[in-house]
Structure 1
Amino acid sequence: MLLEVNHLKTEFQLKHGTVKAVDDISFSLNKGEILAIVGESGSGKSVTSLSVMGLVQEPGEVTGGEILFKGEDLLKKNKSEMQAIRGDQISMIFQEPMTSLNPVYRIKDQIMESIMTHMKLSKKEAWERAVHMLDIVGIPSPAERAKDYPHQMSGGMRQRVMTAMALSCRPELLIADEPTTALDVTIQAQILDLLYHMREKFNMAVLLITHDLGVVSEAADRVIVMYCGKIVEEADVRTLFEETMHPYTLGLLRSIPRLEDESEEPLYMIKGMVPNPLKMPTGCAFSDRCDKCMDRCRREMPELIERNGHKVRCFLYENEPEEAEKHE
Structure 2
Amino acid sequence: MLLEVKNLRTEFKLKRGTVRAVDDVSFTIDKGEILAIVGESGSGKSVTSLSLMGLIQKPGGVAGGEILFKSQDLTKLSQKELQEIRGNKISMIFQEPMTSLNPVWRIKDQIMENIMTHMKMSKKEALARTVEMLDTVGIPSPAERANDYPHQMSGGMRQRVMTAMALSCEPDLLIADEPTTALDVTIQAQILELLYQMREKFNMAVLLITHDLGVVYEAADRVIVMYCGKIVEEADVKTLFEHPQHPYTVGLLQSIPQIDNESDEHLFMIKGMVPNPLHMPPGCSFSDRCDRCMERCTKEMPELQEINGHKVRCFLYDKAEEGELSAK
Say if 2:307 and 2:319, in contact at 8 Å, map to a contact too. no
Match of 2:93 in 1: 93
Which digits, 9 at most, give the CA deviation of each residue in 1:247-300, with x for residues without a partner? 000000000001111110010010000000001000000000001100100000
Residue 325 of structure 1 and its aligned partner are, at CA, apart by: 3.8
Contact 1:91 1:175 (8 Å CA) reproduced: yes
SS in 2 for 1:130: helix
Unaligned runs of 5+ in 2: none
CA contact (8 A) 1:12 1:59 kept: yes
C-alpha distance in 2, partners of 1:268/1:323? 25
Give the distance between the partners of 1:245 and 1:229, measured in 2 at CA: 18
1:289 match:
289
> Aligned pair 1:233/2:233, yes or no?
yes
SS for the counterpart of 1:231 is strand
Say if 2:146 is the partner of 1:117: no
The one-letter code matched in structure 2 to 1:287 is: S
1:318: Cα distance to partner?
2.8
Kindly indicate whether residue 40 of structure 2 is the aligned counterpart of residue 27 of structure 1.
no
Shift of 1:307: 1.6
Q: Is the 8 A contact 1:272 1:289 kept in 2?
A: yes
> Which whole-Å CA distance do the structure 2 matches of 1:78 and 1:148 have between them?
35
Per-residue CA shift, 1:228-264, capped at 9, x if unaligned? 0000000000000011100000000000001111110
Q: Per-residue CA shift, 1:55-74, capped at 9, x if unaligned?
A: 00111010000000000000
Q: State TM-score, norm by structure 2.
A: 0.98
Aligned letter for 2:208?
A: L
Aligned equivalents of 2:51, 2:325: Cα separation in 1: 37
**TM-score in terms of structure 1 length:** 0.98
Cα distance in 2 for residues equivalent to 1:76 and 1:205? 22
Conserved in 2, the CA contact under 8 Å of 1:316 and 1:323?
Answer: no
Q: Is the CA contact 2:307–2:325 (under 8 Å) kept in the aligned structure 1?
A: no
Once the two structures are TM-superposed, the CA of residue 319 in structure 1 deviates from its matched residue by 5.5
Q: Which residue of 2 aligns with 1:8?
A: 8
Whole-Å separation in 1 of the counterparts to 2:107 and 2:325: 58
Identity %: 79
Structure 2 counterpart SS, 1:318? strand
CA distance in 2, matches of 1:230, 1:277: 12
1:152 is matched with: 152
What is aligned with 2:38? 38
Q: Distance in 1 between matches of 2:279 and 2:320?
A: 33
* Equivalent residues of 1:303, 1:313 under 8 A apart: yes
- Give the match for residue 180 of structure 2: 180
Q: What SS does the corresponding residue of 2:316 show, helix, strand or coil?
A: helix
Residue identity opposite 1:225 in structure 2: V
Tell me the CA shift for residue 207 of structure 1. Answer: 0.3
SS in structure 2 opposite 1:315? Answer: coil
Task: State the AA in 1 paired with 2:119.
Answer: M
Report Cα offsets for 1:151-201 as digits up to 9, x if no partner: 011100000000000000000000000000000000000000000000000
Q: What secondary structure sits across from 1:272 in the alignment? A: coil
Contact 1:282–1:300, Cα closer than 8 Å, also in 2? yes
Q: How many residues align?
A: 326
Matched position secondary structure for 2:276: coil
Amino acid corresponding to residue 259 of structure 2 in structure 1: L
Q: C-alpha separation between the residues in 2 aligned to 1:14 and 1:112?
A: 38
- Cα separation, 2, equivalents of 1:161 and 1:219: 20
